[in-house]
């Protein structure tokens, strides 16, 4: 009789297993095999397919009686069904505000097995913990933010899960990765590798990564089994929206500085016969700057040109017009640079949220935004994901990266349905005749 046991991130197959089991390294001396923990479901399925009897000490978990008060919307049910049809493995891509948490809870109810939810931020940790305690009326474990308490239903940050995955690898039958694109990070991948949980659900608003790491996520969690776009839900489950792109010119002084810095960068590329076709090409240039002073100067000039175009004065002037036009609206202003956030906060008397803002202060600002004390906030990246942002109906993107993920997440911040059925509006300010035009096209 074969036996399957979990040992520090691996599945041990004892009892002289066949030497040709997929993913299993066979040791003739001990007549045992070992497989990475994440291959557990595949291994068990193979043994069942071959009709080989085995004692399973890996997935001997208690059954949980769970129920939820949520009634899934049609698209949520379709997403859950697609995941279940894929043998309870795979990723779902749905817009911000579409209720991904509700689908995760429904998956827990459907399987009735101990479950681990992994999230990237303390804010999301607290949101999931509150929601799960309210729905299931039972203790919910927490790993992160100063606590390390494990229950049959547990929420953990990616950092805490990374530190304890080999210890808790056989503790859960289902693992839910919220903002699953983070799992593509080099270290975080080990969380999924070390867990034996046969059921795996990834949730995200933007599945694909520019570095191609989503292919690793597919191997560790499962493929993208359902994709729902903003436009699929706009008008019924999310607010209808408009995007207005406004081009502004650099001042003469900004133009001179931009051309000087950009010229330094492009001259170096020409002289070095370097072509930047992808992110990996740019990374090679960064590596070269470590021992090539000219490359280092070129990259510095590129950064200085970027700061000129993204922080253009006429963007700030146009923002003043937009804020005046939307006095009665709830507005979030997004920028790429912290320095600009503080400039805008001081000029327009808008509460600022940056990575330097303490957790308690951020919660206070967002609560005042929620209750109407504040009608606008300005931020640099912090509110892109992982934070429960109160309803807003206008967003202004003064600057950002070429990431489609970032743009989608910022748009999602204003798409919750409005009580009056009104439309959401996103302004995108772009400096004309600069590299920012290309950046804007790429993210759209």
Percent of the chain exceeding pLDDT 70 equals 95
- Given the candidates 3.40.190.290, 3.40.1170.30, 1.10.1740.10, 3.40.640.10, the CATH classification of the domain at 2-56 is 3.40.1170.30
**What token pair was written down for 142?**
């927490």
pLDDT of residue 384: 61
Percent of the chain exceeding pLDDT 90 equals 53
pLDDT of residue 352: 93
The vertex-52 CA angle with 50 and 56, nearest 5°, equals 120
443 pLDDT more than 70: no
Reported as a single tens digit per residue, the pLDDT across 29-53 is 888 889 999 999 999 999 999 999 9
Give the C-alpha distances (Å, rounded to integers) separating 78 from 45, 69, 431.
26, 18, 42
Top-ranked range on mean pLDDT: pick from 209-213, 217-221, 286-290: 217-221
Class of domain 241-249+312-443: alpha beta
**What is the Cα–Cα distance from 97 to 418, expressed in whole angstroms?**
12
Query: Is the pLDDT higher at 382 or at 147?
Result: 147
Query: Is the pLDDT higher at 273 or at 23?
Result: 23
Reported as a single tens digit per residue, the pLDDT across 351-408 is 999 888 887 888 899 889 888 899 999 998 776 665 667 678 899 999 877 677 778 8
- Given the candidates 3.40.50.300, 3.90.550.10, 3.40.50.620, 3.30.465.10, the CATH classification of the domain at 75-228 is 3.40.50.300
| In the chain, where the domains are located | 2-56, 75-228, 241-249+312-443, 252-310
Nearest partner of 274 among 257, 289, 290, judged by Cα: 289
433 pLDDT more than 80: yes
CB-count exposure of residue 239 (10 Å: 0-12, 13-18, 19+): buried
**What is the Cα–Cα distance from 131 to 145, expressed in whole angstroms?**
17
**What is the Cα–Cα distance from 97 to 330, expressed in whole angstroms?**
17
pTM of the model: 0.81
**What is the Cα–Cα distance from 118 to 221, expressed in whole angstroms?**
13
Domains 2-56 and 75-228 fall in the same CATH topology: no
pLDDT of residue 212: 78
Nearest partner of 132 among 144, 120, 158, 114, judged by Cα: 114
pLDDT of residue 60: 85
**What average pLDDT does the structure give for the chain?**
88
pLDDT of residue 388: 64
């Amino acid at each position: 009789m074969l036996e399957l046991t979990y040992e520090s991130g691996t599945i041990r197959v004892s009892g002289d297993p066949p030497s040709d089991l997929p993913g299993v390294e066979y040791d003739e001396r001990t007549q045992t095999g070992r497989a990475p923990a994440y291959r557990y479901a595949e291994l068990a399925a193979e043994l069942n397919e071959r009709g080989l009897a085995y004692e399973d000490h890996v997935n001997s978990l208690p059954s949980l009686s769970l129920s939820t008060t949520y009634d899934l919307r049609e698209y949520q049910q379709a997403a859950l069904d697609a995941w279940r049809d894929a043998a309870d493995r795979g990723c779902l891509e749905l817009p911000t505000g579409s209720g991904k948490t509700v689908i995760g809870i429904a998956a827990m109810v459907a399987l009735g097995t101990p479950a681990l939810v992994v999230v990237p931020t303390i804010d999301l940790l607290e949101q999931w913990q509150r929601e799960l305690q309210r729905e299931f009326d039972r203790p919910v474990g927490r790993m992160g933010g100063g606590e390390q308490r494990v229950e049959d239903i547990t929420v953990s940050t990616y950092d805490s899960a990374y530190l304890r995955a080999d210890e808790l690898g056989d503790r859960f039958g289902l693992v839910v990765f919220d903002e699953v694109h983070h799992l593509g990070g080099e270290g975080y991948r080990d969380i999924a590798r070390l867990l034996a949980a046969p059921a795996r659900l990834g949730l995200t608003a933007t599945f694909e990564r520019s570095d191609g790491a989503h292919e690793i996520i597919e191997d560790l969690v499962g493929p993208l089994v359902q994709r729902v776009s903003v436009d699929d839900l706009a008008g019924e489950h999310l607010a209808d929206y408009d995007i207005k792109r406004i081009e502004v010119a650099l001042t003469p002084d900004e133009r001179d500085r931009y051309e000087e810095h950009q010229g330094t960068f492009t001259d170096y590329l020409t002289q070095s016969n370097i072509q930047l076709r992808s992110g990996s090409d740019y990374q090679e240039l960064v590596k070269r700057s470590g021992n090539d002073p000219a490359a280092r100067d070129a990259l510095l000039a590129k950064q200085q040109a970027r700061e000129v175009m993204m922080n253009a004065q006429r963007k700030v002037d146009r923002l003043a017009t937009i804020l005046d036009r939307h006095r009665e609206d709830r507005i979030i202003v997004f920028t790429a640079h912290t320095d600009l956030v503080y400039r805008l906060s001081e000029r327009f008397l808008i509460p600022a949220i940056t990575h330097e803002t303490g957790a308690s202060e951020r919660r206070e600002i967002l609560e005042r935004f929620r209750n109407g004390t504040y009608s606008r906030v300005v931020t640099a990246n912090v509110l892109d994901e992982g934070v429960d942002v109160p309803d807003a109906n206008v967003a202004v993107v003064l600057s950002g990266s070429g990431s489609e993920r970032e743009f989608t997440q910022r748009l999602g911040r204003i798409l919750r349905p409005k009580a009056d059925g009104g439309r959401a509006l996103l302004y995108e300010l772009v400096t004309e005749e600069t590299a920012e035009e290309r950046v804007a096209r790429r993210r759209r």
